[in-house]
Structure 1
Amino acid sequence: MAAPLDADALRRTLGPPSGPWASIDVVTSTGSTNADLLARATGPDAAPDRTVLVAEHQDAGRGRRDRVWEDRAGEGLTFSVLLRPREIAPERWGWAPLLAGLALVGAVGEVSSVPAALKWPNDLLLGAEPAAKGAGILAEVGGGDGGDRALVIGMGVNVATPAADLPAGATSLVAEGVDPGRDVVLVAVLRALADLDRRWRDAHGDVVAAGIVDDYRARCATLGREVAVTLPGDRRLEGRAVDVDRDGRLAVRAPDGDTTVVSAGDVVHVRPAAR
């Protein structure tokens, strides 16, 4: 089993007084780091803005659409952050999981040479084509309607899981031939996310002014591809992914030329992007 995460070193590197995160805790095991931080969004002991909770293992982790996220202690990273971006209108908070995806891509590029990109909206793809999923993200809103309102973003990253132990369609950094260490990856992700969060807040949520939407488009492997999108209600949309707009929505152009903009759905890459 890999060495446990060094909580004290993480706090020295990323916490007060000079780091970007206000609070960093590492626990041995929990049900869900997202659920734990959502429970701390309000009340007398409410978590401060920019709180990080990391678990060596969680047994009730969830992904989008309530899918189960499985992990084994010492092999991956499972953590959540709580943000209170009061500078940004809540209707713009939908960009939060896309920011987290950008942070993951940036972190992988910093600590390794493994190709990394995003499948809309926020699945981390690792490796050469056909790339496989290396991480998942779930963003939720908790707290009240006023100043207590909080964003909680959970991430599960496959770092050291051997290829033989991964489900079909998944990969890890170790499976891609690199092992930078979980502490190194976590520091890189949290630094990248803190920087994106700062840019987002400085622009009051305007991702165009902040340059974030352009960064996302440049790293989104979905754009330019023929895709099949399963929409809520099990409706299906097929066509070419042509844009991600300022609201984080995916524009898909059907063969007849009609363009549909979708805000939620499961995407399958049917064919590579046109060159």
Structure 2
Amino acid sequence: MPAKIIDGKKMADALLEKAAQEVSSLSRPPCLAIVLVGNDPASEVYVRKKIEACKFTGIVSKDVRLPASATQSEVIGAVQKLNKEGKVDAILVQVPMPQAIDEDKVLAQVAPEKDADGFHPENFGKLAFNQGKIIPCTPLGILHLLKQSGVALAGKHAVVIGRSRIVGKPLALLLLNENCTVSICHSKTPDIGSLSAQADIVCVAVGKPKLLKAGMVKQGAVVIDAGTSREGEKLIGDVDFDSVKEKASLITPVPGGVGPMTVAALMHNAILCYRIRGGK
């Protein structure tokens, strides 16, 4: 029996509606500053979607653009200026940045209480100790997808393929905090399929089209595809969807799965930053 497809768009829409209701009850709308360095086409699309979500929920978006020629000090200066702005509640620095920019140094400059992406070392460390409030958006969205789909997490074996700061590492910590037994696979893992085939839950986020094949998944597994690549105008994921859906019990599509949830989680985090800073 083919897998049930998890409708991330429907779940995200419900979360955005909830966020809009919450914003309407606040003394003022939260403000999310989005910093974009350069003009990477994919980043432009992602930023546009985030700004659209802000408009829908009533969150004020502050669009900060720097040219691809911007220096490290200029980018850090822009972030530090936003840290000092009292009306800016949350800051997101869009990645990837141009190669000349050290992303780690820039992200570490975002004030932890304004860190809408949850990438600051302080927030990441709190996540590791299961004390995190601001959780990276994609992992937070994935956790919501799993829970809303009725997936019991405690005691399950979860394999996370990918170890990026954006998805893999924080997702592994989040699942561990939910009492999963977690294995992380990456480019140096000799035989990823031997591990993924044992998993109750497989989450993939590496950006390699159709990396996960049906033979790498056990019957009845839950499969979450957080990878995206473009083939011409078509957006495809890291999972060989057509073959894997015949073995999985639940599966996310690309597009329409994890992506919308990432944006919805960002709106949640922007409101959370507002509240952490004392907003009511």
Q: Normalising by structure 1, report the TM-score.
A: 0.35
Where relative contact order (Cα < 8 A, 6+ residues apart) is larger, the structure is: 2
